[in-house]
Amino acid sequence: MKNKMLFQMLAAMMLLAGCGGGDSLQVFDASKPGAVSPPPGPNAGGEEPGHVTTVPPTPELPPEVNPPVVAPPPVVAPPPVVAPPPVVAPPPVVAPPPVVAPPPVVAPPPVVVPPTVVDDRIAKAMISGDASALDAASKLTLLQQAQNIALEVRNFQVPTLSKILQKNGADLSQALTFSNSSISVSLQNSTSGMSFLSADSGNGMAALSQVGTGRAMVYGADVLSWMAGTTTQQQHLPLFTRAITWLISGDPDLALPATVKFSTAGYSANNVRALLTRLGSAGSEQICDLTDVNNTCWQNADLLVFGGSTKNTTDLTAQVQKYLAAGKSVIYMAPSWIESSSGRKVATAMGMELGGYPGNYFQGASGLSISASRTAADSLARADKMGTLIVTIQKLMDDKLDWDFKADASPTNPVSQVHNELAALHGKGINLFQLPTMDLHKKLVLWADLWRPSIDKYGKMPPEQRATASDFLRAYASDSWVVFNRSKTSTAPLGYGDFMPKEAQNIPVSADWEDIDVTIAQGSGITAIGRAAIPGKTVTVQILDAAGGNLGVQSGYARSYGNPLSDGKKYGRPRRPMSFNVPIAAAKDNVFVTPFGGPLYLNYSALSAGSVVKLRVKGAAKYGHFDFTKDMSQAEIDAASAAIKSKTFGWQTNKFVGGEVHQTNAYALSVIGNVEPKDYVLNNLRARLFDSNHIANGYSNMPMAPAVSGLCNELTWTCDGAMHRAPGVQHFVGWIAACGFLCSGNPSDGFAGLSAGWGWWHELGHNTVQRVHHIVPPGTAGCVVECDNNILSSASALRQYGMTGADVNGDRIDHKGLYQFIFDSRATGKTGEALRLEIQNKLWNGGQNSMRAMHFQLGFLYTKYRRGMALPTPDASLEYLTMLTKGDRLVSRDWTVANAAKYGMGRYTSNSITNHDLLYVLSSKIIGKDMRKYFAAYGLPLDQKSLDSVADLNLEIAPLTFYALAPGKGNQVATGTWLDIEASSPAYPF
């Protein structure tokens, strides 16, 4: 009884605290559906790492995590649904400990009612998304009004959930277990509903909402059918009963009506009837097609129950919203993990979302169950989205805030919560200011617009500095609460640190429409369009031809952008200066604006490589961008060069076949040095970074050397065409590394400008390495990641030396070390297989520089035997790597039993072959000699099928020789000498 009184007093206090002025509350109306488009990826926004999780007054619910989609099973054949194991009922509660209610939020200072004219201006801004007509006084008013909305939401959510989770002052068991045949349930945003049940991991299991006068419930599994029966998860029945009673009667302490009239869509009426009977109420089914927009029979029902088999109609979301607005009780029960488009529409109408494909199929136990020890206070703390936001808003109002954000970053957590919810809206193509709901978010975004012109301390606000605590938090919130798919925003007058200089705001933008053709390199991805968004200036985009794909636009492209809380830069740049992806549609003007500026990118999917997207753009600017995927005029080259030198825009970008470079203008200038930007782009980036890699990999965008073309014809290999297309666009970002100094991946990024050199060669190699580079004899460490990619790095260094005479990283190939392993193994006196095994264990467990020398020795042998050259040259040596990688792809994509012999695999019945055997058969074909002695000398075991296949070619067995180069002179191939090691082991000459 005492606990019940405590919760009642808490509810009363919260209601009193929320009685301040402000807009009428619409927070439980669901958002209208927008264009369906994937939400931004993990790097598009989200909680910054390293946040302290101590959050007054109550902990925040951890983010709900959808399972990774890793090769999901086909939808047409879902796995059998195994009922969750019976849950043993918890022991009777003999004297439950008192439940500690969440501490009440201290009410903010009284709101001073602003003049009517300010309210009118705010009301207009809430519709237009334009804060330019608001004055300085509106900043405080907006925060006060936002705080009042948050209080009202909290004062509804917390008491409502409190009453459902308890009965007669005692906690009800929340123990519940789903099977993997279920799906997660989350809220569209923190004001659209209540997170009713979340698994121990935070994965959402059920949610409730009040939309207008209607109430709604969603479960991620068909729990209603379990409760209608008597065998599955029966410990959940008391809690489910109170939730259903709240749904129908509005108060879990009331009794259900004697008769409940219900209708169903895509769900078993027998289950509903059986449940109501079990709960002591008679169920009266009203036969009605709830998906028919013209039906009127819905008015006769009290309860509407939808399932996954509901007919998927165009207006289903709006139809369900109509039912809720009329005060109906609506339920959705997910049948399994299988996708239900109609179920998503029903959930959207309720202000909720279902997880992505394949639901909870791969979810672990902690994401499928609630432990029996979960208390009401625990779940209230998880569900309370507003408590911490209310406190953070109070801190935003405090001009003399005294806080150390390095010691306690918790006030930034609710900032990120709103930031993530804005990101989700953008991902669906929804403009916040075109929604009838989410007034809380609108007011916070408008406040951020008003505060942004006051930000003048980027680089001067260390998180631990208490004197600038208010500046820090306000900048963090202003940076985070941004809407990009509107026409107006504000800017910070002094620029944005190393992301964008203040001078960028004065760059002129196009007043007329420009037609831009964007050639698509792959099915999906992101690509620069050669235009920039200038801070605060509206860009308008029209789609002339989408080429059948899905398109979006965004400013900036990077996976790492720093963290004001932990990167040691004293808040050196905006919290996340790149925009979210904003989906764009045909037959309309798509508006875009960013406070921060940045290069504009097309985000695309469902396209074919080689297709052309046609855009029409107005309000954008030209900057230092080079696009060598098409012809550039001299005027365009000169303009781009001048833009780089002017230092007025923050970024410089480059497009090549197979790669794009995005780097800050300052980093670009640091590597350009005294040369002309055009020369840097053409002769450094393109020629010595991308081209060298593509030559070594035999990609078709690079013209074949005459010797390569001739050999392809001789071997009847198909060496050009789509089969040898570069495998996609490799992006490089010169700004901030995601790991270390340079970090691999796509994009690869680093704290440096882009220039030909080991670091960027290495990173590009990671993403283009082929199986013939990856050599791992059985039982050895082998040449694996960080070794195989550097074969391509050394190839680039060798080609650069041949082109320019610049000798770098010649020490990364250790020919002497390779020879020493052979020499030392022979010195043991072993012969035959014993000798081969001795070399294998020495070399392939030894240094990587020695392992990689093998590929280049084979290249030198190609120049000797195939080309008839006395000494190798860089270009001729690389011809071997070109042929090798082409052969690798041909075996993968062109191989048949009938043509196997032309790849040296005549004895094979499939193209399944080990990497080192593939290297042997291809090398023999390319060099024109049977290379078996060399592979034995390199310690590589060969399969009998590969030996017999090459023997069938009737090639001469090559005698053993070794091309000796001095240590450190791996690029200076003309300085070496051939050693005859067929019958002896001469001393290494260097």
Percent of the chain with pLDDT over 70: 88
Q: Which residue bears the tokens 């005698």?
A: 959
The helices-and-strands tally (H runs, E runs) of the chain is: 27, 29
Per-residue pLDDT, averaged over 60-84, amounts to 36
Asked whether 246 and 160 are in contact (CB, 8 A), the reply is yes
Could you tell me the CA-to-CA distances from 592 to 554, 597, 600, 620, 639 in Å, in that order? Answer: 8, 11, 10, 10, 25
CA 878/CA 696 separation, integer angstroms: 6
Give the HSE-up count for residue 626: Cα atoms under 13 Å, Cβ half-sphere.
25
Amino acid at 832: G
Those residues whose C-beta lies under 8 Å from the C-beta of residue 121, and which sit 6 or more positions away, are: 133, 134, 135, 138
CA 799/CA 980 separation, integer angstroms: 27
Name the 3-class secondary structure at 925.
helix
pLDDT band for position 119 (cuts 50, 70, 90)? confident
More confidently predicted of 508 and 106: 508
Asked whether 879 and 860 are in contact (CB, 8 A), the reply is no
Q: What is the pLDDT of residues 377-400, one digit of tens each?
A: 999 999 999 999 999 999 999 999
Tell me what pLDDT residue 89 has: 36
Per-residue pLDDT, averaged over 234-260, amounts to 98
Direct distance between the N- and C-terminal alpha carbons of the chain, in angstroms, rounded to an integer:
92
Is residue 74 scored above 60 in pLDDT? no
Those residues whose C-beta lies under 8 Å from the C-beta of residue 505, and which sit 6 or more positions away, are: 491, 493, 495, 534, 535, 536, 597
Those residues whose C-beta lies under 8 Å from the C-beta of residue 767, and which sit 6 or more positions away, are: 730, 744, 745, 746, 748
Dig out the tokens for 441 from the structure: 């978010």
Asked whether 621 and 532 are in contact (CB, 8 A), the reply is yes
Per-residue pLDDT, averaged over 536-562, amounts to 98
Is residue 8 scored above 90 in pLDDT? no
Look at strands 977-980 and 961-964 and give their pairing.
antiparallel
Tell me what pLDDT residue 114 has: 42
Q: What is the pLDDT of residues 12-21, one digit of tens each?
A: 334 333 333 3
Could you tell me the CA-to-CA distances from 51 to 410, 414, 417, 463, 569 in Å, in that order? Answer: 7, 11, 13, 12, 17
Asked whether 242 and 286 are in contact (CB, 8 A), the reply is no
Is residue 49 scored above 70 in pLDDT? no
Is residue 28 scored above 90 in pLDDT? no
Could you tell me the CA-to-CA distances from 446 to 141, 488, 604, 797, 812 in Å, in that order? Answer: 11, 11, 30, 53, 56
Q: What is the pLDDT of residues 609-660, one digit of tens each?
A: 989 999 999 999 999 999 999 999 999 999 999 999 999 999 999 999 889 9
Could you tell me the CA-to-CA distances from 844 to 151, 422, 963 in Å, in that order? Answer: 66, 52, 20
CA 4 to the chain's CA centroid: 45
Q: What is the pLDDT of residues 833-860, one digit of tens each?
A: 999 999 999 999 999 999 999 999 999 9
Tell me what pLDDT residue 862 has: 99
Q: Which residue bears the tokens 């078709």?
A: 700
pLDDT band for position 79 (cuts 50, 70, 90)? very low
Bridge partners (DSSP) of residue 518 are: 613
Could you tell me the CA-to-CA distances from 178 to 224, 271, 466 in Å, in that order? Answer: 13, 18, 47
Name the 3-class secondary structure at 884.
helix
pTM: 0.84
Asked whether 799 and 684 are in contact (CB, 8 A), the reply is no
Average predicted confidence (pLDDT) for the chain: 90
Is residue 130 scored above 90 in pLDDT? yes
Is residue 116 scored above 80 in pLDDT? no
Q: What angle do CA 313, 318, 319 make, to 5 degrees?
A: 70
Nearest to 64 by CA among 312, 354, 318, 284: 354
CA 533/CA 582 separation, integer angstroms: 14
Q: Count of CB atoms within 10 A of residue 859's CB?
A: 28
Q: What is the pLDDT of residues 166-221, one digit of tens each?
A: 999 999 999 999 999 999 999 999 999 999 999 999 999 999 999 989 999 999 99
Per-residue pLDDT, averaged over 796-808, amounts to 97
CA 318/CA 293 separation, integer angstroms: 9
Asked whether 188 and 207 are in contact (CB, 8 A), the reply is no
Residue count of the chain, please give it: 990
Is residue 71 scored above 70 in pLDDT? no
Q: Which residue bears the tokens 């020695």?
A: 850
Is residue 946 scored above 70 in pLDDT? yes
Tell me what pLDDT residue 29 has: 34
Peptide bond into 747 cis (omega under 30): yes
Q: What is the pLDDT of residues 431-483, one digit of tens each?
A: 999 999 999 999 999 999 999 999 999 999 999 999 999 999 999 999 999 99
Is residue 98 scored above 50 in pLDDT? no
